Chains A and B, each alone.
Chain A
């Protein structure tokens, strides 16, 4: 899962040398304190990551090869990448638009009010901890025995699945993904809306402008960058998502994360394991680009605060 990143402005200022000691000795001892943390992160985060990224370039004997990467560019794998990108882009857009609307509706209310607390807490749950339960919620609603399915069948005689089992394919994934994309948008975008100072609205009015003027000249331009950044974040989030899709789709691997699942659960030809790592590398590249752009936009935004 992906969560908002805020880049802090400016690192440290003065070097704090221990009083009474030479700077060199003080610093060496000071560094010892952070070694445990660095070592831990090195072992449990950096090392596995490097294994994957390096493994993408190795064949089953450990020798350097680009064949994994070239295999990625064809057939099933390339299709999976396109579908992942399509899914992520569409749900990012849907999430961004409806999430922005919902954020606005919430931001207009009282900051300590109940509505806001409930929406923010609910958004947190769905956006970051929904995973498997979300898949089951989806099934309970529009699954074969779902509440809405039965309602439509019994009351309106409409069969939700007259065509296909779409809920287990891209359309279904798109629908269920909105259930964590819209909430994530609320979490990411609400601070941006809070940053719109009431004085700007009032100043616009005192100068003779109305609602449209305000949004066109002040609110819109100011929110543009945060909106774009949020869109990128949502894209990265959908692209990396696994749990919901895994719980929903037990057969077939329409998107990249599920493809990787296939490799880990042994559904793959011998000698092809590193192809899974290549898929991982591909994912890291796509998500990395999206997050990199997001960080750049964040830096620009913070200049105005």
Chain B
């Protein structure tokens, strides 16, 4: 009976891997621990959950959370409404526009938010004139900010199905374009749409630059303000934001499971 020893290169590789994971793991977990410790500090070296319960007791904060959640939902919906028909249509009928649409969708990556907001101010003066000055008007600019992420997710989803064939099959059976979009395209790219939406939600919840410089009170703006007067509370909220976003993205990793192609033996 020959039991072979593990080749030395495997052992060295594993050791290095463990070292890297431990060191960098420590580096990144330390701030989380620090936040946990800081936000549970009571008076005279006791532990207290005051900072955490304070989250629910601060009306401005609660309002801003509600606002941000509403914004997240609205922006996702607007993004889907804008992108899905357009992208599907481009693939089916206007392939030459693909480059243009792709360029436009990826353009926000090259224009830093801080620069965009400078040009936004006069535009938003008009928007607020017509639609009032609710923070929900941020939906319009947020839908633009999420374009790059949403585009790539939806593009991957459309690429994975044979869109042309499915659409032609549906059309030959008498479906209108609307039916094709709603009953054929959307159900088959569901996971991509969920992915795009989750990314959008996370992005909107974390957005600060434009909201703060246009003077709207979203969650992140509020957190920043709180930081100036109540360090414990602001750190508790920050930790909550990070954990929440983590959970969202963690779940996202399960949503995108590639379907196993089962070949059944005849």
> A residues near B, CB below 8 A?
1-3, 5-6, 8, 11-16, 18, 27, 30-31, 33-34, 36-38, 40-41, 43-52, 55, 98, 101-102, 104-105, 108, 115, 117-118, 120-122, 124-126, 128-133, 135-141, 145-148, 179, 182, 210-211, 236, 239-240, 242-243, 246-247, 250, 257, 260-261, 263-265, 276-277, 280, 283-284, 287-288, 291
Q: How far is the CA of A15 from the CA of B143 in the complex (A)?
A: 30
Query: Which residues on the A side are within 8 Å of B91 (C-beta)?
Result: 12
Give Cα A276 to B120, complex, Å.
13
Q: Which of B44-93 contact A (CB under 8 A)?
A: 82-83, 85-86, 89-93
Query: B113: CB under 8 A from chain A?
Result: yes
Nearest residue (CB) in B for A147 is B34
The reply on B130 being an interface residue by CB < 8 A is no
12 additional A-B residue pairs with CB within 8 Å, beyond A140-B34, A148-B34, A246-B224: A3-B109, A5-B148, A8-B102, A15-B96, A34-B90, A45-B147, A101-B20, A115-B21, A124-B249, A125-B242, A132-B227, A137-B31
Q: Are A139 and B231 in contact (CB under 8 A)?
A: yes
* Known A132-B224, A140-B35, A246-B209; contact A257-B114, beta-carbon cutoff 8 A: yes
Residues of B within 8 A of A (CB): 9, 12-13, 16-17, 20-21, 24, 28, 30-35, 37-39, 82-83, 85-86, 89-99, 101-102, 104, 106-123, 140-141, 143-144, 147-149, 152, 155, 202-203, 205-209, 212-213, 220, 223-224, 227-228, 231, 234-235, 237-239, 241-242, 245-246, 249-250, 252-254
Chain A nearest CB: distance from B195 CB in Å? 11
Please pick, from B90, B107, B212, the residue contacting A45 in the complex, using a CB distance under 8 A: B107
A5-B109, A34-B89, A132-B208 known; A117+B253 contact, CB < 8 A: yes
Tell me whether A246 and B208 are in contact in the complex, defined as CB-CB below 8 angstroms, given that A41-B144, A125-B249, A264-B213 are known contacts: yes
Assess whether A47 is in contact with B206, with CB atoms less than 8 Å apart: no
- B28's partner among A3, A121, A179, A210 (CB-CB below 8 A) is A179
A-B pairs, 7 with minimum CB distance: A12-B95, A48-B119, A129-B206, A240-B112, A147-B34, A133-B238, A51-B119
Structural contact, B94 and A31, CB atoms closer than 8 A:
yes
- In the complex, the number of residue pairs spanning A and B with C-beta atoms less than 8 Å apart equals 265
Residues of A within 8 A of B109 (CB): 2-3, 5, 291
CB distance from B64 to the nearest CB of A (A): 12
What are 15 of the A-B contact pairs (CB < 8 Å)? Answer: A44-B140, A49-B119, A55-B119, A108-B13, A124-B249, A129-B205, A132-B227, A141-B34, A147-B30, A147-B33, A148-B30, A179-B28, A242-B113, A243-B220, A277-B119
A52-B119 in contact (CB<8A) = yes
Residues of A within 8 A of B121 (CB): 264
| CB <8 Å contact, A137 and B89 | no
A-side contacts of B237, CB under 8 Å: 133
Main secondary structure of the interface of B (DSSP, over half): helix
The answer to whether A45 and B144 have CB atoms under 8 Å apart is yes
Contacts A48-B116, A182-B24, A264-B118 hold; do A8 and B89 have CB atoms under 8 A apart? no
Distance, CA A108 to CA B110, complexed state (A): 33
Knowing A129-B206, A247-B227, A283-B114, the reply to whether A12 touches B24 (Cβ < 8 A) is: no
Q: Is the CB of B118 within 8 A of A30?
A: no
* Chain A hits for B227, CB < 8 A: 132, 135-136, 139, 247
Residue in contact with A140 in the complex, picked from B31, B118, B141, B147, CB distance below 8 Å: B31
Tell me whether A34 and B94 are in contact (CB under 8 A): yes
B242 contacts A130, C-beta separation under 8 Å? yes
